[in-house]
Amino acid sequence: MSAAPIVMPRAIASSALWLVTAILASGALSTAWAVSSDTMHELTSRATAADRGYQEAQERHAIKPDAAAQARLERAKLEYDERSLELDTARISTLAEFSSLAPEDIQKRRLAGATWEAIATDIGVHPSIIGIELIDPSPPPFGGGLAR
């Protein structure tokens, strides 16, 4: 089963990725920190859950925009931002570990609009390393999938 994509406004994504790069550049987190597939799966699950929670809080706030709904929305947004930052940090450092690219180069590609799948594929790393599941919606039929 594939996780739902996490949608983040471009301004927030840009700020989060710059923060990740600053952390990596400062040496506070080594670029030789590639996370295990289990950890990457856990981080992806947490970010997906936070995204769902944020969407639900937005929907509730739209129905009844009172102070309690606003507080829930702000907490959900903070949780979403934290989980997204964790996942982006893990993805950037893992891609840097498995390639010859610096974290800054990976960040530039992401900020330019490249998907995580495209970045991984372009640098020769299977996207599953960073928690991206690939699903081929139309695999070739048995016996006829090879060009002759």
pLDDT in tens, 12-30: 555 555 555 555 555 444 4
Q: Which residue has the tokens 């979403």?
A: 80
Please state whether the predicted TM-score (pTM) of the whole model is above 0.75: no
Q: Please, which residues have CB within 8 angstroms of residue 106's CB and are 6 or more apart in sequence?
A: 92, 95, 96, 99, 119
With contact defined as beta carbons under 8 Å apart, do 44 and 87 qualify?
A: yes
What is the distance between the alpha carbons of residues 7 and 84, in angstroms, rounded to a whole number? 10
Sequence letter at residue 40: M
pLDDT band at 74 (very low <50, low <70, confident <90, very high): very high
End-to-end CA distance of the chain: 33
Question: Six-digit token pair at 76?
Answer: 């959900």
pLDDT of residue 142: 41
Q: Please, which residues have CB within 8 angstroms of residue 102's CB and are 6 or more apart in sequence?
A: 31, 96
44 CB neighbour count, 10 Å cutoff: 21
